[in-house]
Amino acid sequence: MSFQVTTESVNVPLIGERRRVDPCTIVIFGASGDLTARKLIPALYHLFESGQLPTPFRVVGFARREKSHDSWREELRAALEQLSRTKSVDAAVWQRFAGNLFYCSGDFNDSAAYGRLKLLLEGFGDESLKQNLLLYLATGPSQFAVVAENVFQVGLLHKWEDGADHWQRLVVEKPFGRDLQSARLLNNDLTRHIRERQVLRIDHYLGKETVQNILMFRFSNAIFERLWQRETIDNVQITVSEKLGVGSRGGYYEEAGALRDMLQNHLLQVLSLVAMEPPVSLEAEAIRNEKVKLLQSIRPLRPEDVARQVVRGQYFAGAIGGEPRIGYRQEIKVRPDSNVETYVAVNLFVDNWRWSGVPFYLRTGKSLPLSASEVRIEFRPTPHVLFAAREEASMMPNVLTLRVQPNEGISLAFNGKVPGTNSALRQVQMQFNYTSEFGAYTPEAYERLLLEAMAGNATLFIRRDEVESAWKIADAIREGWGAKPLTNREFYSAGSWGPVAAEDLLARSGHAWHDPQPSV
Ligand code: BG6
């Protein structure tokens, strides 16, 4: 098979500067999995539709099951009709897009299968399609190292040399190990033959517009940056709540739990963006250096600290919005006496000059009343409260809320005088809302991430030392929990905001959780 092509890179606006995305082939290992149909292909389709993919490009799906190029294309189209963010697939656009999709069947352990993959790529003719390769590991974690080794052995992966004409990059989905030790081993395996900068570890939270906006917001607005420190900020709350339970993912979740599934990655990433020092530039390494420094400044948790500063929980049967919900222990593939946490809340401290003494409260859980992710920055009260005698009850703190999702936006709460002859105060809000400001279009996280990966911009991907620093924090928590079973105070009813113990965690310092509000 060979193609006559004219090559054309596309210039796309990426973090920091406009970058070139060269013609390339994206090889998806584990192409029959959920991620490919739900996220990767819809993202690539939308990028193609909006003219953001280079010409030419190819996508090759690699998975065990035998199927033809056409049957794979058919499957993907059916999935896209259901899952595309625009809920519609333009037949003509799909036709042109689908002509770039190919399938190669093979077992991940079978070196002959990689030989077949290489042959398929060679048939693409164009050097860029043969040699600019984004090798996407959408497989189970146990296959990461096997695939990386095989693509290297068959000659599809080369160590990047400065000035080289072509590039190959490995894109890896979480989990990156299950603790520090396994993460180190995995990182060693992935970088055995290539450079760290060729490994792009995905945390899809970094692909969200609103998460990217944290840095933009902080470092382009002098008024807020000046307030971003211990003398003005009283506490920070990061909430990632999910309405869904574990659903069909019980098997995976039994091994992960909320700590590994969410806190170790998404929440600590958001924390590092909220709290890091200004980077020296918008280059990937400059930003990642600051994020690592922040993670390393988090006060280590000793086992006795875990008892005081961390709360885990597990949902039992309840109801959400009037719908009955089963408990975690009744979910498919979950042990009936499981002690796995579906909720975790932690009070962390960042021991540096900027944040000394400011509590950072992070929480995430499944089967909570609604799905919402937000960062709430609460400012200290005024030094002298003029209105205290009369208005104490209504003097609320100033609060800046970064709404990551849904109802994406930022609000600032402050006190204002209620019109009238008395001096009553009430909290009022200044609102920025993405949809009303910029219209409804917000690209899916994977669109951004794939584009950045093709362009070789590592800013939105997690560097080795970030992963390892985050595991140190998660491991300390797990060690503190040990093998202790869950106690009554750690269970919560599906549809509530988590276990009672989580309220105590904040009450001890005179704080309280502020739950995200349903979007109107
Ligand atoms: C994934 C977790 O990384 O993030 C899931 O494995 C979780 O358990 C999901 O549901 C949440 O992502 P989002 O983008 O829906 O907030």
* pLDDT per residue as tens digits for the range 108-166: 999 999 999 999 999 998 999 999 999 999 998 889 999 999 999 999 999 998 888 89
- Active-site option among 266, 384, 511, 514: 266
CB of residue 242 inside a 6 A radius of ligand 1 = yes
pLDDT at 234: 97
Go through the domains of the chain in sequence order and give each one's CATH number: 24-174 (3.40.50.720), 206-372+456-507 (3.30.360.10)
Strands 24-29 and 57-63: parallel
Average pLDDT over residues 343-363: 98
Strands 491-493 and 461-462: unpaired
pLDDT tens-place string over residues 296-306: 999 999 999 99
Q: Amino acid identity of 228?
A: W
Return the bridge partners of 344, or none: 312, 364
331 pLDDT band (50/70/90 cuts)? Answer: very high
Q: How many CA atoms lie within 13 A of 419 on its CB side?
A: 0
- Tell me what percent of the residues of the chain surpass a pLDDT of 90: 78
Which residue of 173, 208, 242, 462 sits with most ligand 1 atoms within 8 Å of its CB, as the best mutation to test the pocket? Answer: 242
- Report whether 417 contacts 16 (CB < 8 A): no
Question: Ligand 1: which atom is nearest the Cα of residue 240?
Answer: 16
16 pLDDT band (50/70/90 cuts)? Answer: very low
**DSSP for 231-287, written as a single string:** TTEEEEEEEEE-SS--GGGHHHHHHHHHIIIIIIIIIHHHHHHHHPPPPSSSSHHHH
Cα of 267 vs centre of ligand 1, distance in Å, is 11
DSSP one-letter code for 66: -
Q: Is the pLDDT assigned to residue 6 strictly greater than 80?
A: no
- Report whether 23 contacts 56 (CB < 8 A): yes
Alpha helices in 41-110 (DSSP H): 41-49, 69-83, 91-98
Q: Which residues contact 399 (CB under 8 A, 6 or more apart)?
A: 376, 377, 378, 379, 412, 413, 514
CB of residue 261 inside a 6 A radius of ligand 1 = yes
Residue nearest ligand 1's atom 8 by CA = 261
Cis peptide before 279 (omega within 30 of 0): no
Q: Which residues contact 329 (CB under 8 A, 6 or more apart)?
A: 314, 316, 335, 336, 337, 338
Question: Ligand 1: which atom is nearest the Cα of residue 242?
Answer: 10
Cα of 134 vs centre of ligand 1, distance in Å, is 23
Q: Is the pLDDT assigned to residue 3 strictly greater than 60?
A: no
pLDDT tens-place string over residues 434-482: 889 888 766 788 999 999 999 999 999 999 999 999 999 999 999 999 9
pLDDT tens-place string over residues 63-83: 999 999 999 999 999 999 887
Which residue of 264, 266, 405 sits with most ligand 1 atoms within 8 Å of its CB, as the best mutation to test the pocket? Answer: 266
Q: What angle do CA 344, 178, 171 make, to 5 degrees?
A: 110
Query: And the tokens for 486?
Result: 């869950």
Q: Based on the residue annotation, tell me whether 46 is a catalytic residue of this protein.
A: no
Q: Which residues contact 383 (CB under 8 A, 6 or more apart)?
A: none
Cα of 372 vs centre of ligand 1, distance in Å, is 11
- Tell me what percent of the residues of the chain surpass a pLDDT of 70: 93
CB of residue 173 inside a 6 A radius of ligand 1 = no
Q: How far apart are CA 437 and CA 225, in angstroms?
A: 23
Cα of 116 vs centre of ligand 1, distance in Å, is 34
Which residue of 38, 173, 203, 204 sits with most ligand 1 atoms within 8 Å of its CB, as the best mutation to test the pocket? Answer: 204
How remote is the C-alpha of 355 from its chain's centroid? 24
Cα of 241 vs centre of ligand 1, distance in Å, is 10
How remote is the C-alpha of 455 from its chain's centroid? 19
